[in-house]
Amino acid sequence: MLKGISPMLSPELLKVLCEMGHSDTIVIADGNFPAESMGKDAIVIRMDGHGVPEILEAVLKVFPLDQYVENPVNLMEKVPGDTADISIWKKYEELIAKEEPRGISVIGTLERFEFYEQAKRAYAVIATSETSQYANVLLQKGCVL
């Protein structure tokens, strides 16, 4: 254990976050996301038993968001006509507003299949047990200033 570092951040996850360079991406995936197939060229970190918000909160404490792009945070858009509840996005906005000086303006959305394409190029995918649909988050790393 380390002082000031959330115990949510395992040694494996801390190593991956440190290895990532500017503009690399990481997906924090809900339990329905095809983490292994989307992450076949990435590092897949299993965090079963945890939800996306708690992991996102811990990651944002140590992970600089890319300051050179408009949307270093992207969420998967809901498919038109789908009645899934996306209220979890409000929690994401709260967490991001707390850690990111630019506030929630850094949050964008990607159409489902575009999200999948971006996820295939991610450096890492964190597989969670999150039960909310459309709870996937794609983060792009920035520089420590």
Task: Locate 21 and state its tokens.
Answer: 């360079």
Q: How confident is the model at residue 2 (pLDDT cuts 50, 70, 90)?
A: confident
73, part of any domain: yes
Question: Do 118 and 41 touch, CB atoms closer than 8 A?
Answer: no
pLDDT for position 82: 96
Looking at the domain assignment, is residue 1 inside a domain? no
* Residue 46 within any structural domain of the chain: yes
pTM equals 0.96
22-76 pLDDT, tens per residue?
Answer: 999 999 999 999 999 999 999 999 999 999 999 999 999 999 999 999 999 999 9
What are the residue numbers of the active site?
Answer: 22, 66, 116
130 Cβ contact partners less than 8 Å away, ≥ 6 residues apart: 29, 30, 31, 50, 51, 52, 88
In a domain, 89, yes or no: yes
Q: What is the pLDDT of residue 1?
A: 72
Q: What pLDDT, in 10s, does the model give residues 62-109?
A: 999 999 999 999 999 999 999 999 999 999 999 999 999 999 999 999
In the prediction, which pLDDT does 12 show? 97
145 band by pLDDT with thresholds 50, 70 and 90: confident
Whether residue 95 is contained in a domain is answered as yes
pLDDT for the residue numbered 125: 98
Give domain status of residue 134, yes or no.
Answer: yes
| pLDDT band per the 50, 70, 90 thresholds, residue 130 | very high
In a domain, 52, yes or no: yes
Q: Residue 120: what residue type?
A: K
Domain that holds residue 18: 11-140
